[in-house]
Structure 1
């Protein structure tokens, strides 16, 4: 089982920057029944849920069960507040049961934080950018295919009950036994 991790941009703007992290798992050899992939982010870097719609919890732990084909996980990473210029490490941990033994591998991915002035000079991995665009386009098309039923608004009417209705309603019924 081979794991490759690639960033769309290896440099991120210090303020309101965005990039995508691709985790590719090649299942060309033996396949475990259940895998957990955990994304560890440094302070100031946030992520949306994986764009591939795999099961994920709030701590960015993705669980893959009975996957017998290659898997691509794409995470959208972003900054909301100013980060100091420098280098950070993203952590990706893969754990699974392999041949009856617990297997755990942690990989570090360097990410440079650069000033906004250099944002135009940041190289972009075109393969990942086109893959992300394809995923987002497919999601948009899927959302457009969902049909919504529009119900007409309810009309509220003032209605006064007749003495006979009052007598036979539950409230009137309980009053009759007093």
Structure 2
């Protein structure tokens, strides 16, 4: 149903770049098909390169699930990321004709390596060829809009916790 391949087996831990090729097999009579990509901390992505509808959270909509669809994503690192094996989660969600919601998750491993180790990488020539073909199709002169889809940081505030400054300067009273 879903297959994910990357152009290179590794990505450099600082200012590295790679591409994902997400292949989706035809599924038949389904509605509301969406792709969600969860990246490890420190790895970012651009909008999909082939123009599928994508909302502000990075969720990609598949308009015609009855045919095979290919989605291309550019992933990259900006600042240093800890080296090692990282996992990318690609989730595929849809609603069938009965109304049941199905979610299929596919996990892809990616090695993050330092600049010194980058020499020993292998590339998937088919993925590289597809990316080059896609860039020629859309034109390299087109300026693409980059929207970063980084994981959101959740900050929890405990209403019962009172800081030292708040204890010192708080004015107790009745609020009407």
CA–CA distance in structure 1, aligned partners of residues 138 and 51 of structure 2: 10
* Aligned match of 1:18: 17
Mapping of 1:41-52 within 5 angstroms? 41-52=39-50
Match of 1:72 in 2: 70
Gaps of 5+ in 2: 143-176
Who is 2:146 aligned against? none
1:83 maps to 81
1:106 has 2:101 as partner: no
After TM superposition, the structure 1 = structure 2 runs for residues 28-177 of structure 1, keeping only pairs within 5 Å, are: 29-100=27-98, 101-140=100-139, 143=142
Max Rg structure: 1
Whether the aligned pair in 1 keeps the contact of 2:49 and 2:72 (CA below 8 Å) is: yes
Q: CA deviation at 1:141?
A: 6.7
Instruction: Give the distance between the partners of 1:141 and 1:46, measured in 2 at CA.
Output: 21
Instruction: Find the residue that maps to 2:30 and give its secondary structure.
Output: coil
Residues of 1 paired with 2:102 and 2:54: CA distance? 20
Separation (CA, whole Å) in 1 of partners of 2:71 and 2:41: 22
How far did 1:10 drift? 2.1
TM-score by length of 2: 0.75
CA shift, 1:142, in A, is 8.4
Q: Which has the higher contact order (CA 8 A, sep 6+)?
A: 2
SS in 2 for 1:123: coil
Partner deviation per Cα, 1:71-117 (whole Å, 9 max, x = no partner): 00010000001111111111111100124211111111111111111
Superposed structure 1 runs of 4+ greater than 2 Å apart: 65-68
SS of equivalent to 1:89: strand
Q: Retained in 2: the 8 A contact 1:34–1:66?
A: no
Q: Aligned residue pairs: how many?
A: 142
Q: Could you say which residue in structure 1 is the equivalent of 2:162?
A: none
**Unaligned runs of at least 5 residues, structure 1:** 144-178
Higher helix share goes to which structure? Answer: 1
Per the alignment, in what secondary structure is the counterpart of residue 106 of structure 1?
strand
Equivalents in 2 of 1:58, 1:84: separation in Å? 27
